[in-house]
Amino acid sequence: MWHRKVRTVALCAAFVSLLTTLVATGAHAEYGDVVINNYSDTAGMRPVVFPHWFHRVRFRCKVCHADIGFQFKAGGNDITMLKIIDGEFCGACHNGDIAWPVENCALCHSAPPGTPTQVHESTLQKLVSPDSSEPVSTKKPAEPAAATTSEK
Amino acid sequence: MSMKMRALRIMLMIMLATLYGLSGVGDLARAEAEDSTPQIQRAAKVNTFNRLLKPPSERNLPPAEDGIHDPTSEGTYLLQSPREAFDSLPKSNSGNRVDWVKALEEKYIEPRFDRFDPEKKPMVFDLNIVREVKGSMPDVVYPHKQHTEWLDCSNCHPAIFIPQKGANQISMASILMGEMCGVCHGKVAFPVSECRKCHSQNKTAEAKN
């Protein structure tokens, strides 16, 4: 009886230490995954994860970056839900016609709350620095200009 | 009491096992689990092989395990796993580990050029620009062909590159900072670790002297 209790406590400790290890290993998401957190956190929604890989299988870069007008900069596009439902930005396809419609909130708003705007695994984010040992979810944006608008 | 404890223990064991599976720390970590002496755990952690690199077991993870999607959100579990999508695509050594240019050339994927019209084809422009580089690295050959398969002229010209010979100053420093070629390469197009993909034309003997 008594040493069962001890073993349970030991197991609990091991569990907690494991959780810490897991968090410390950081993110292993795809190259080019973009997190957009311009307004999400303040609106009480999860930030958006945009998977470039999924979209480039189906569309060439030109469709979003020339026809629809997305700037080549994470956080550099002033995307709001109003614009989306009016057919701008994501709403140009996510309208129930070309792709699934906007009422599937959780399919885009899927990052842990507080995740900063970033291009996952971008050159600057991957540089080996003291900063990069922190988990991505709590890290300040590694891209110095991530929050500013696109430069011309 | 004993039933409750047993249930608790089994639950913990399952959580433990799942977590090890998720963390993908590999054999070393699994060895740590068997030997719970804290000293061994510390030593193993600091001396893991290539501690700053991502081992193959941690590549192309499903969204719930990738650290950037919230595993507590139900939407996360509806998203496609990259492994499932990449399985049939040609491989590369960097980025998503997919050779996207080859995948397009050989029609492993057929991404639309127009969001409404699946038949619309790009206007491919086959012109190589050779840029002689100052250092010892081979010269850069820039192929318009592969770029115009994906992009529109207006994506690069004139905002990023002035369409005029000698008008663009390009340095690796600016590329690393996400400018010029670095607007895409190092973020979504193949990363800057693939030096030879751009620096592909060896300097001639005269040029070297």
Question: Could you write out the three-class secondary structure of B58-74?
Answer: HCCCCHHHCCCCCCCCH
pLDDT at site B144: 98
Confidence class of residue A139 from pLDDT cuts 50, 70 and 90? very low
Q: Do B19 and A28 touch (CB under 8 A)?
A: no
- Percent of chain A at pLDDT > 90 equals 61
Contact with chain B for residue A56, Cβ under 8 A: yes
**Neighboring chain B residues of A69 at a CB cutoff of 8 Å:** none
Q: Are A150 and A121 in contact (CB under 8 A)?
A: no
pLDDT at site A4: 62
Cα dist from A29 to A22, A46, A120, B14, whole Å: 14, 17, 7, 25
Structure tokens, B77? 């579990």
Q: Tell me the pLDDT tens digit for each residue of A47-78.
A: 999 999 999 999 999 999 999 999 999 999 99
Side-chain half-sphere exposure of A43, counting CA atoms within 13 A? 12
pLDDT at site B187: 96
Q: Do A137 and B109 touch (CB under 8 A)?
A: no
pLDDT at site A28: 84
**Neighboring chain A residues of B109 at a CB cutoff of 8 Å:** 56-58
Query: Which of B13, B115, B174 would best serve as a mutation to test chain A binding (most A beta carbons within 10 A)?
Result: B115
pLDDT at site A125: 84
- The chain A residue lying nearest B113, using CA atoms, is A60
Contact with chain B for residue A29, Cβ under 8 A: yes
The answer for residues whose C-beta is within 8 angstroms of residue B102's C-beta and 6 or more apart is: B90, B92, B108
Query: Region A111-139: what's the mean pLDDT?
Result: 74
Contact with chain B for residue A137, Cβ under 8 A: yes
Give the residue range(s) of CATH 3.90.10.10 domains in chain B.
89-209
Helices (H), chain B: 2-23, 27-34, 38-46, 82-86, 100-105, 144-150, 153-156, 172-176, 195-198, 205-208
- pLDDT one digit per residue (tens) for chain B, 209 residues: 455 666 666 666 655 555 444 444 444 444 444 545 555 556 566 787 877 788 888 899 999 999 999 999 999 999 999 999 999 999 999 999 999 999 999 999 999 999 999 999 999 999 999 999 999 999 999 999 999 999 999 999 999 999 999 999 999 999 999 999 999 999 999 999 999 999 999 988 665 55
Q: Mind listing the domains of chain A with CATH numbers?
A: 27-138 (3.90.10.10)
Report whether pLDDT(A136) > 80. Answer: no
Contact with chain B for residue A99, Cβ under 8 A: no
Q: Do A11 and B63 touch (CB under 8 A)?
A: no
Report whether pLDDT(A140) > 50. Answer: no
Query: From the centroid of its chain, how far is CA B108?
Result: 18
Confidence class of residue A126 from pLDDT cuts 50, 70 and 90? confident
pLDDT at site A131: 55
Contact with chain B for residue A3, Cβ under 8 A: no
Q: Tell me the pLDDT tens digit for each residue of A25-52.
A: 467 899 999 999 999 999 999 999 999 9
CATH superfamily of this structure's domain B89-209: Cytochrome C3 (3.90.10.10)
Contact with chain B for residue A45, Cβ under 8 A: no
Confidence class of residue A137 from pLDDT cuts 50, 70 and 90? very low
Q: Do A124 and B2 touch (CB under 8 A)?
A: no
Predicted interface score ipTM higher than 0.85: no
pLDDT at site A82: 97
Contact with chain B for residue A43, Cβ under 8 A: no
Of A58, A66, A126, the CB nearest to B111: A58
Token pair 């945009």 is found at A50
Who wins on pLDDT, B20 or A102?
Answer: A102
Q: Are A124 and A142 in contact (CB under 8 A)?
A: yes
Distance from CA of A8 to the nearest CA of B (A): 6
Choose the weakest-confidence range: A2-6, A66-70, A130-134, B4-8. Answer: A130-134
- The chain B residue lying nearest A146, using CA atoms, is B178
Q: Do B69 and A49 touch (CB under 8 A)?
A: yes
pLDDT at site A22: 36
Residue A47 and residue B62: Cα distance in Å, rounded? 18
Of A32, A57, A63, the CB nearest to B188: A32
The answer for residues whose C-beta is within 8 angstroms of residue A19's C-beta and 6 or more apart is: B19
Mean of the per-residue pLDDT values for chain A?
79
Question: Which A-chain residues 57-86 have CB contacts (< 8 A) with chain B?
Answer: 57-63, 65-68, 72
Who wins on pLDDT, B66 or A4?
Answer: B66
pLDDT at site B118: 95
Instruction: Give which of A150, A128, A132 is closest to A140, Cα–Cα.
Output: A132
